[in-house]
Amino acid sequence: MKTFNRGKLKRLIEKGYIICVNSYFYDEMDGLKISNKERPVRIQRNYDDWQEGAINLTERDLRTQTGRAWEETSGDIILKVHGNEKYTFRIKA
């Protein structure tokens, strides 16, 4: 496991090179949501900029103080936004 620069991850997302292969999200209102469905990843520019069926990250998600990103030996990139939100990404071939 080695650190993966979140700025680099953002640039790869903006270029369309990243897909999400696993997501984990929990909050008090919606409960636990886990998905193993492959979905595109994009940067949501404002509240109305939502795309159904995609992982819509905000720029804040990529720079939270509690978050981090790392690359597994398999090549998967893990983004942990905070304790209740985590994504597994792959770079498109």
Over residues 19-57, the pLDDT tens digits come to: 999 999 998 888 898 999 999 999 999 989 999 999 999
Q: Yes or no: say if 65 and 12 are a contact pair by the CB < 8 Å rule.
A: no
Residue 5: other Cβ atoms inside 10 A? 10
Non-local (6+) Cβ contacts of 71 within 8 A are: 1, 2, 3, 4, 77, 78
The verdict on pTM exceeding 0.85 is yes
**How many residues are given for the chain?**
93
Q: What is the reported pLDDT for 84?
A: 93
Q: Which of 93, 86, 90 has its CA nearest to residue 35?
A: 86
Inform me whether the pLDDT recorded for 2 exceeds 90: yes
